[in-house]
């Protein structure tokens, strides 16, 4: 009997670790002893079986939101990016001191936009450019529609109804009525709050639409509905050159970014990494393939399961699918169920449905991983790719959206177009560790040069200065 056969007959079902709001861990089937196995493998199977039978509770750090760590200060980044970069930011901010910015998006937790704003807002404020962050509100009907809009703008078929338009407009109007726009620069993130532009006429502020979505092939009906709102802004920002549209307003390219000092990206003690892996039943003596993402069909977690199963016919590995949901994404539970069904009874697939405060746990899992995958079908940018590259991990990702701006094929990672391609690259990287280390190292340097929070702060300061100077020139011309 082959080792693959032994793995199949010596195991029960998938480990499913869920956030407390979704219930406790589910117990799996008992471990079979029909066939002999390697002693290390038997020990792993016993740990898996024991963990299920005891229904071990998740660690307190998962069950309870931790106290927020103190926010890093600008000088803390000097050790990473150099003092010259910090001095440059202070110089750029001088002319903007006393100016104010408002950032508006659709969720305070979950997703890359919220993560970026959580760090960007205090850093801009530290530079004496006071920055405020507001989050729109809405019912389930609103967020179901905006999720459909999100998918449609990525190219998914969708029939836009009058009812959907009315719900979108009604909630935007409600949010517009309760918000104040007294700042000098108003930045509206993504389509959900795009209708707030109707307040532009009542304020002298610059209005900028920051789109984090892949608009290279949008659903025509949804885009034509949103376009009149977008055209009223003073500028639009996209995450990739290919997302730009024919618009009568200036368009700018801003790469999203990560904060290297955040809980999700800072260095961790090896002992903490090991403890977190033990808590989740991840065996660090064997290769670990990980995808970190929301349970979203466009992230293709089911495709990752299929790729892993193909690769596992040739190489031994575990698969970790670590993710959760966002408050503006109502589809997560259904997708999570699809992932569980695809995983079946494989004991080496570990599904972690984590609450949004598990940044340290995600960090540890990424650092413990042998390979990180982001097999997106559509993607605005993919900050989980950035996180993986920053940690020096060999990364496999779908060649979509803004991902090719991060992964230069076979230099900073590898790009794939199919389940089979993903499976091949998993197998190749696991059997070619020198190449894997090389692309991991190059990926880290690529992120350091292009995708860190300090670079994002610099772009916002430059854009604000450009808008201010353009207004001054128009005033002189008048």
128-156, pLDDT tens digit by residue? 999 999 999 999 999 999 999 999 999 99
Ordered per-residue pLDDT tens for the chain, 478 residues: 443 333 333 333 334 444 433 433 333 333 333 333 444 444 445 444 443 322 345 566 688 888 888 889 999 999 999 999 999 999 999 999 999 999 999 999 878 899 999 999 999 999 999 999 999 999 999 999 999 999 999 999 999 999 999 999 999 999 999 999 999 999 999 999 999 999 999 999 999 999 999 999 999 999 999 999 999 999 999 999 999 999 999 999 999 999 999 999 999 999 999 999 999 999 999 999 999 999 999 999 999 999 999 999 999 999 999 987 665 567 888 999 999 999 999 999 999 999 888 999 999 999 999 999 999 999 989 999 999 999 999 999 999 999 999 999 999 999 999 999 999 999 999 999 999 999 999 999 999 999 999 999 999 999 999 999 988 888 777 6
Can you give the pLDDT at residue 57? 52
CB 402: neighbour CB atoms within 10 A?
A: 25
Residue 92 CA to its chain's centroid (Å): 29
CA dihedral 133, 138, 144, 147 (to 10 degrees): -20
Can you give the pLDDT at residue 37? 41
Q: What are phi and psi of 291, to 5 degrees?
A: -120, 130
Contact 44, 379 (CB under 8 A): no
Can you give the pLDDT at residue 58? 59
Express each pLDDT in 368-411 by its tens digit. Answer: 999 999 999 999 899 999 999 999 999 999 999 999 999 999 99
Can you give the pLDDT at residue 264? 95
| Whole-prediction pTM | 0.82
Can you give the pLDDT at residue 18? 40
Can you give the pLDDT at residue 109? 83
Residue 106 CA to its chain's centroid (Å): 15
Contact 181, 206 (CB under 8 A): no
Contact 212, 198 (CB under 8 A): no
Can you give the pLDDT at residue 66? 86
Residue 445 CA to its chain's centroid (Å): 20
Ordered domains of the chain (ranges, CATH): 3-30+263-450 (3.40.50.2000), 95-256 (3.40.50.2000)
């Amino acid at each position: 009997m082959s080792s693959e056969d032994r793995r199949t007959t010596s195991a029960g079902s998938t480990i499913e670790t869920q956030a407390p709001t979704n219930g406790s861990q589910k117990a799996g089937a008992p471990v079979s002893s029909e066939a002999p196995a390697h002693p290390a493998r038997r020990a792993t199977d016993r740990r898996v079986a024991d963990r299920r039978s005891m229904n071990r509770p998740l660690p307190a750090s998962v069950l309870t939101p931790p106290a927020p760590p103190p926010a890093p200060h600008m000088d803390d980044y000097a050790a990473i990016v150099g003092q010259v970069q910090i001095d440059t930011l202070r110089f750029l901010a001088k002319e903007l001191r006393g100016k104010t910015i408002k950032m508006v998006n659709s969720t305070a937790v979950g997703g890359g936009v919220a993560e970026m704003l959580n760090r960007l807002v205090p850093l801009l404020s530290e530079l004496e450019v006071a920055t405020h962050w507001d989050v729109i509100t809405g019912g389930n009907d609103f967020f179901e529609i905006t999720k459909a809009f999100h998918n449609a703008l990525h190219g998914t078929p969708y029939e836009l109804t009058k009812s959907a338009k009315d719900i979108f407009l009604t909630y935007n109007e409600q949010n517009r009525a309760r918000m104040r726009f007294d700042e000098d620069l108003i930045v509206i993130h993504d389509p959900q709050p795009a209708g707030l532009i109707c307040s532009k006429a009542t304020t002298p502020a610059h209005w900028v639409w920051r789109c984090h979505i892949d608009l290279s092939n949008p659903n025509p009906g949804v885009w034509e509905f949103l376009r009149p709102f977008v055209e009223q802004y003073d500028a639009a920002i996209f995450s990739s050159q290919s997302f730009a549209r024919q618009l009568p307003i200036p368009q700018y390219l801003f790469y999203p970014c990560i904060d290297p000092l955040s809980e999700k990206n800072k260095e961790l003690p090896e002992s903490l990494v090991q403890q977190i892996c033990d808590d989740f039943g991840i065996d660090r003596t064997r290769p670990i393939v990980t995808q970190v993402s929301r349970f979203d069909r466009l992230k293709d977690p089911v495709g990752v399961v299929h790729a892993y199963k193909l690769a596992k016919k040739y190489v031994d590995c575990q698969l970790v699918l670590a993710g959760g949901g966002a408050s503006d994404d109502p589809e997560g539970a259904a997708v999570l169920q699809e992932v569980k069904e695809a995983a079946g009874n494989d004991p080496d697939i570990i599904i972690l449905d984590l609450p949004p405060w598990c940044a340290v746990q995600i960090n540890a899992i990424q650092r413990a991983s042998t390979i990180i995958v982001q097999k997106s079908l559509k993607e605005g940018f993919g900050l989980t790719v950035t996180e993986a590259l920053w940690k020096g991990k060999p990364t496999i990702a779908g060649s979509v959206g803004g991902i090719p701006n991060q992964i230069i094929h076979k230099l900073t990672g590898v790009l794939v177009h199919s389940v089979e391609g993903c499976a091949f690259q998993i197998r190749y990287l696991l059997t070619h560790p020198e190449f894997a280390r090389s692309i991991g190292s190059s990926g880290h340097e690529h992120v350091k040069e292009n995708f860190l929070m300090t670079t994002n702060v610099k772009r916002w300061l430059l854009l604000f200065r450009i808008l201010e100077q353009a207004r001054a020139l128009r005033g002189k011309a008048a």
